[in-house]
Each structure stands twice: as structure tokens, then as C-alpha cells.
Amino acid sequence: MSVQFLSTYSPLLPLILFLIFSLKKSRPELKVIFLYILYAFGNDLYTTNTVYGRNHIFAFLAVYTIIEYLMVSTFIWLSLSGKALKMIIVFLSIGFVTYMIIYMIRSDKTKFDSIPSSVEDILLMMYCILYMFEQIAKPQIGFIYATPNFWVVLAFFVYTSSTLFLFITTSSLSEDEQAKYWVINQISNIVSNILISIAFILNPKSQKNPDYPDDNYLNTV
Amino acid sequence: MIFLQVLSESNKVPTVLFFGTIGMLALTIGLIVFIIFHQRKVIRYQMRLQRMEQDQQKMLLNASIRMQEEERQRIAADLHDDAGPLLATARLYLNENLVNLDKASQLQSIYNAKQIIDDTIQLIRNISHSLMPPTLKNFGLESAVNDLFQKISGSGSMNASSRFHDYRERLQPETELIIFRVIQELVNNILKHSNSSFIHLTQNTSGNKFFIRLHHDGRGLTQSDFEKLNKSNVGLGLKNIQSRLRVLHGKIFFEKDMSQTYYKVTIELIKQEEPASDKK
């Protein structure tokens, strides 16, 4: 069972867990992540098994970049409560989407979209840090890791930080090197899907006492 | 194998990729760990503060309940020990045998019974006044405090005086009652424990703040003594004072005067905007 196979089919774990644990009880932002994972799974299946050429995949990945960015930033926008932070996401998103549209029209679609992917990674990392900052700044009784949103943000934080340098340097690598180092993306994908699975199991309504979260709650899960 | 290839000089891009990825991951994990531990520390501290606040509330509530029970027992004792025997004696004078006595004896019995009933009425009036002084309700805090201090001076035990410098408009009746009870409690403590020869009360206002200061020359408390007693199981009266002042969002300070000759208790309250409807 290769890493690529595991990476392609790892989204099944959070998808199934969402349908079992969180379908009826989850908040809107988790539903957005469910749809994102569904889309990512479909995208991975298509790009792995497509009979069309490499060039076609890169064009497809450019579309994936923009949709991935919109869905993840929507999740973080819904998770934030501060209006100022939400406005930052809105303005940066308008800028990024405009850039992506121009890029898709003018770029060479036979190459991996290194710069947009790197910019997307940096923006998503920034949003994750904004979320973490807001969580520690606002007074609350619950531990941060007792909320599903934290685990989703952690998943994207780990994914974007692991793949940032990969995306920056991909265009400088040969095809063989790209194929070799793409394992970093695959492993990051697997780890992020595992973390999102934890989020889907960890629905706050299933905790015994949501006001006073049990530090050992994850052990019982 | 990847590690060795990455380190080879000819592979600068893979080197950047490898170390960059490791560095980013390390930073990410470090940041997450820091955030988690920081938040745990903050939450534990908040919960500890909450627990301490709850313990303090419980202690104040218990003190309040005990005070109430003691007050009830005192009233019950006064009624049982004083009013009860008096009324029983009056009843003895007015029993059925009265009709068998001669007129002079009948008149004497009725007169004695009337005297006893008068004494009982006075006793019950005193009990009632100690529960709720009519002077406070009808004439206000200044008059009630002056009345109280005059009674203390009149008893000969010490020289007690009071002076209200700025009390043109009365406070709300509930506020006046609470302040009066606090003053009563402080004065009782001074009488019981301090062995002082004088006690002087002054009232001032400054901006929107209302001050009452009590000076006495006996053994007193400092602020640290007050806080220590408040946290312990003793000092029921002081806990009662604190819980009453809490209702008014007021503060109390215990200190020894700069000249070290007398003790001072300062009560500070925020003046309410709407004065009482009936003025002095």
C-alpha cells in the first residue's frame, strides 16, 4: 500500500466519521470542511486516475487551488468572532481571488502553479494564526483543544506549513524530483485528514459537561 | 537516502526544501504547543479565582445566615424571658378569683395588672425599635445615628458623638438601613472589644462618593487584621459588614491614624443618583 494510495483514500476516514458522528449535530463551518474534503477526495481520485495528460492536471490543480482557498477561508471566517479579523480575511480573499483569475488567464498551464499555491499556503497559515490568537485572547472556560474547530485549523496549519517550501521550490525541481518530493504533500495530506477526523469525532455536544471540559476527554474518545 | 541526497552540495534546492519543511513544521508544532499550554495556564488560573470567589461567597452567606439565626434567638429569648413572665403575671392578677375579692383588692389587682401590661408594651416596643428604629424610617440616617450615639453617651460607658457635614438629601431607605446596620455593628464591636473612651462619627461627600468615618481611641483593627479575620471562620460580625457593603458596592478600610493615637474606620459608597422621595 503506497503513500500515494493512502493519501488518495485518506479523506474517506473523515468523511465516514462525519456521517456517523457529526451529520445532524455539526455547525455550518464543519459542514463546509466536509464539502471541502469531499471535493478534495474527488479531485485526488480524478488527478490520480485520469487518462488525460499532465498539462490537463496542472490546469485542474489551479482551479483546485482557488476552490480550496475559498472553502478553507470560509471555514476560518465562520469560526472567527471578531469583526476586524473577519474583514481582514474578506479583503485578502478579494485580492487573492482577483490575482488567481488573472493568473489562470495569463499563466502557462503546463506547469504547477507554484506561486499561487505558495501564496495560498501563506494566507491560510496567517488565518490559522489569527484564529489561534483570537482563541487565546478571548476569555473562556473551555480548553482550546476541546473544540472541533481547533483540530481543523491545526490540520490546515500543519498541512500548509509542511507544503509551503515544497510548493515554492516545485517549479525549480525536475519532473523526477517533483515526483520524489511530492511524498511530503501526500504525508501532510494524510496527517491533516487524521486531524480533521478527530475534529469530527470531537463534537462539543457529545461532551458530558461542555462548560467545564474534562481534560481527559480525548482519552475516553 | 533522501537525507543524504539532500545534503549533497549539488542539490541546493532540495536542501532548501528539506530544511525549510523541517523548520516550518518545528515552528508550527512549537507555536501550537505554546498556545495550548498558555491557554491551560490561563484557564486554570481563572478557575482557581472562580473557586476562591465561590468559597468567599459561601462563607459570607453562612455568616449572614448565622447572624440571622442569632438575631432570631435573641428576639425569642427577649420575648420568652421578659415578655412571657410579665404577661403570665398579669394573667395571675386577672384570674377568675378576682370576682370573689372585695372592691379594694379588685382595684389593686387591676392596677397591678395594668402596670405589668404597660411594662410589657414598653418591652415589646423596645424589641421592635431595636429591630427597626422608627427614627431611621421617619427622620433618616442622620437622626437615627445621632439617636444611637446619644443613647451610648447617656449610658455613661463612653463619649460618643456624630456629625454629618453634608447630608442635605437622604439616600434610598434601603441604603440608609444597610448603612445604619453597618454602623451599629461597628459600634457594637468597638463597645465590646476596644475598651475605648470616645467614639466619633463623621459623614462627608466628595464628588459622587459618600464617606462615613468612625474614630475611636481603643484597641482597633488594621486592614490586614480585617482581611485575615474575614478569611477565617471567626469574625461573624465583620463578614456581615462586608456582605452588607457588597450589596451597595461599597468599601471599608480599617487603619491606624497617622498620629498613631486612634483607629479609623472609613466606609466609602458611591452615591446613587435618585435621592429618597421624603426629605428631612
pLDDT in tens, A118-133: 999 999 999 999 999 8
- Note whether A187 contacts B: Cβ–Cβ < 8 A: no
Each residue's pLDDT tens digit, B245-280: 888 888 899 888 777 778 888 888 887 655 544 444
Instruction: Give B87-132 pLDDT, tens digit per residue.
Output: 888 888 888 777 788 888 888 888 888 998 998 888 888 888 777 7
Closest approach of chain A CAs to the CA of B209, in angstroms?
32
* Partner A contacted by B21 (CB < 8 A): yes
Based on the fold, state whether residues B144 and B267 are members of the same structural domain. Answer: yes
Using pLDDT thresholds of 50, 70 and 90, give the confidence band for residue B1: low
Number of domains observed in the structure of chain B: 2
Whether A158 sits inside 8 A of B38 (CB atoms) is: no
Query: B26 and chain A: CB distance < 8 Å anywhere?
Result: no
* Residues B42 and B149 grouped into a single domain: no
> Does residue B207 register a pLDDT over 60?
yes
Chain B nearest-CA distance from A178, in A, is 10
Low pLDDT (below 70) residues in chain A: 1, 50-56, 109, 139-141, 203-221
Does A179 contact B at CB distance below 8 Å? no
Q: Which residues in chain B are contacts of A191 at CB distance < 8 A?
A: none
CA distance B233 to B214: 25
> What is the distance between the alpha carbons of residues A175 and A20, in angstroms, rounded to a whole number?
41
Q: Does B17 touch chain A (CB under 8 A)?
A: yes
The span from the CA of B168 to the CA of B204, in Å, is 11
Query: Is the residue at B45 inside a domain?
Result: yes
Average pLDDT of chain B is 83
Q: Which residues contact B175 (CB under 8 A, 6 or more apart)?
A: B248, B269, B272
Distance (Å, whole) CA B196 – CA B218: 4
Selected residues 125-154 of chain A with any CB under 8 Å from a CB in chain B: 129, 132, 135-136, 139-145, 154
State whether A165 and B20 contact (CB < 8 Å): yes
Give the pLDDT of residue A96.
94
Look at A71 and B80; give whichever has higher pLDDT.
A71
For B49, residues 6+ apart whose C-beta sits below 8 A from its C-beta are: none
CB within 8 Å: A139 and B17: no
* Closest residue, chain B, to A155 (C-alpha): B28
Residues B48 and B139 in one domain: no
Q: Which string of DSSP letters, residue by residue, matches B113-137?
A: HHHHHHHHHHHHHHHHHHHS-HHHH
Residue B82 counted as domain residue: no
Pair B46, B140 in one domain = no
pLDDT given for residue A221 in this prediction: 39
Nearest-by-CA chain B residue for A171: B13
- Out of B13, B31, B58, a domain closes at B58
Compute the distance between CA of residue A73 and CA of residue A86 in angstroms, rounded to an integer.
10
Partner residue facing B39 (CB), from A136, A166, A177: A136
Helix boundaries (H) for chain B = 2-7, 12-78, 84-93, 103-131, 134-139, 141-155, 173-189, 223-231, 236-247
Q: What angle do CA B158, B162, B229 make, to 5 degrees?
A: 70
Residues B11 and B147 placed together within one structural domain of the fold: no
Within this chain, do residues B272 and B141 fall inside the same structural domain, yes or no?
yes
Residues of chain A positioned with their CB less than 8 A from the CB of B21: 162, 164-166, 184
Q: Which of A132, A161, A181 sits opposite B14 (nearest CB)?
A: A181
Structure-model confidence comparison of residues B140 and A60, the more confident one: B140
Residue B46 falls within a domain, yes or no?
yes
Share of chain B above pLDDT 90, in %: 13
Give residue B4's pLDDT. Answer: 53
B127 Cβ partners below 8 Å, 6+ apart? B75, B78, B79, B83
Q: What is the pLDDT, as a whole number, of residue A163?
A: 93
**Which of A181, A183, A217 is the mutation pick for testing B, counting most B CBs within 10 A?**
A181
Domain boundary among the residues B21, B39, B58 is at B58
pLDDT at A207: 43
The pLDDT of residue A54? 58
Residue boundaries of the structural domains of chain A? 3-220
Q: Is residue B270 part of a domain?
A: yes
Domain extent for B242:
133-280
Last residue of a domain, one of B18, B34, B58: B58
Query: Considering the domain boundaries, does residue B152 fall inside one?
Result: yes
